[in-house]
Amino acid sequence: MKLHVVIERDELGYFVAEVPALPGCLSQGTTEQEALANIKEAIEGWLEVMEEKHAIDRTKAVEVLV
């Protein structure tokens, strides 16, 4: 799965990573690399929670490339 990640530096100097396609999926780090590693973990957790909340019928899922 490919997702766009936006990384910006906040006023305190931390790097904040956000996945616009996944509402509320945020993380941060003291370096860009740390923020990227942390957002990967956040994405995995976000997907796990959403899968538990909404059972997905994988036989009806399709992949779309835009």
pLDDT bracket for residue 66 (50, 70, 90): low
| Any domain includes 65 | no
Structural domain of residue 29, as residue ranges? 6-55
| Any domain includes 1 | no
In the prediction, which pLDDT does 54 show?
75
User: Taking CA 15 as the corner, what is the angle to CA 14 and CA 21, rounded to the nearest 5 degrees?
Assistant: 140
| Any domain includes 34 | yes
| Any domain includes 62 | no
Q: Give the count of domains, the chain.
A: 1
| Any domain includes 22 | yes
Which of 56, 64, 22 has its CA nearest to residue 39? Answer: 22
Residue 60 has pLDDT above 80, yes or no: no
pTM: 0.77
**pLDDT digit string, tens, across residues 4-58:** 999 999 999 999 999 999 999 999 999 999 999 999 999 999 999 988 887 767 7
| Any domain includes 18 | yes
| Any domain includes 60 | no
- For 29, phi then psi, to 5°, come to -165, 165
| Contact between 6 and 21 (Cβ < 8 Å) | no
| Any domain includes 48 | yes
In the prediction, which pLDDT does 56 show?
65
